[in-house]
C-alpha cells in the first residue's frame, strides 16, 4: 500500500522550520518505507522528504548515529529505492509533533545518488507544482548563504 500526502504548507508559516538544522527544504509527503533492525522487519511511513533526507514516523526509532539501509516505495516505480540513511535525531510525540526519526541520506560508491535526487525532486515538483517548487528551492539556496 502506497500513500501520498499532497498537503502543502508555506515554509515561512511552518513552526517545524524554527531553529532549522537541515540544509535542504522538506515537504510533506507520505511514502511507505521498510527497514530491518535486529532481524525484525519494520514498515513505517515518511512524514516529509527532501533531497538530503527524510523523516520516518515511528514509535520504535533507531538510535541516533545508526546507519541502516531502507527501501522507499515511490508511486509509479516497479521496485522501491534502496537508500542508505543515518539517524540524525529522534523526535518524541508531543501535541505538535509525531514520533519518529530524522534521517540523512548517506551515499556510498555505487549508490544511485543522481537517480534518488531526481526522483525526490520529481515528487516535490509533482506535490507542489513547478512554480512553488522553484520558489521553495530559491528560498533554500538563499538560506544557505
Q: List, in order of start, the domains of the chain with CATH numbers.
A: 20-130 (2.40.10.220)
Strands, E assignment, the chain: 27-28, 32-37, 40-49, 53-57, 67-72, 81-91, 100-106
Confidence check: pLDDT of 19 > 50: no
Q: Which three cell numbers stand for residue 105?
A: 541520506
pTM exceeds cut of 0.85: no
Q: Which of 10-14, 18-22, 93-97 has the lowest mean pLDDT?
A: 10-14
Residue 44 scores a pLDDT above 80: yes
The separation between CA 136 and the C-alpha centre of its own chain, rounded to angstroms, equals 16
CA dihedral 51, 2, 16, 41 (to 10 degrees): -90
- Work out the end-to-end distance of the chain between its first and last CA atoms, rounded to an integer number of angstroms: 40
**Confidence band for 74, pLDDT divided at 50, 70 and 90:** confident
Mean pLDDT of 86-111: 89
Angle at 17 between CA 19 and CA 91, to 5 degrees: 80
What is the structure's pLDDT at 140?
Answer: 67
Amino acid at each position: 500500500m502506497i500513500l501520498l500526502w499532497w498537503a502543502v504548507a508555506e515554509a515561512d508559516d511552518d513552526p517545524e522550520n524554527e531553529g532549522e538544522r537541515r540544509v535542504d527544504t522538506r515537504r510533506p509527503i507520505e511514502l511507505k518505507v521498510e527497514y530491518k533492525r535486529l532481524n525484525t522487519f519494520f514498515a513505517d511511513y515518511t512524514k516529509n522528504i527532501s533531497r538530503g533526507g527524510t523523516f520516518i514516523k515511528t514509535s520504535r526509532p533507531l538510535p541516533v548515529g545508526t546507519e541502516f539501509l531502507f527501501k522507499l516505495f515511490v508511486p509509479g516505480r516497479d521496485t522501491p529505492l534502496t537508500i542508505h540513511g543515518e539517524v540524525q535525531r529522534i523526535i518524541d510525540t508531543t501535541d505538535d509533533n509525531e514520533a519518529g526519526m530524522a534521517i540523512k541520506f548517506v551515499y556510498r560508491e555505487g549508490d544511485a545518488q543522481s537517480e534518488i535526487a531526481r526522483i525526490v525532486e520529481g515528487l516535490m515538483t509533482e506535490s507542489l507544482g513547478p512554480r512553488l517548487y522553484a520558489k521553495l528551492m530559491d528560498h533554500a539556496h538563499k538560506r544557505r548563504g
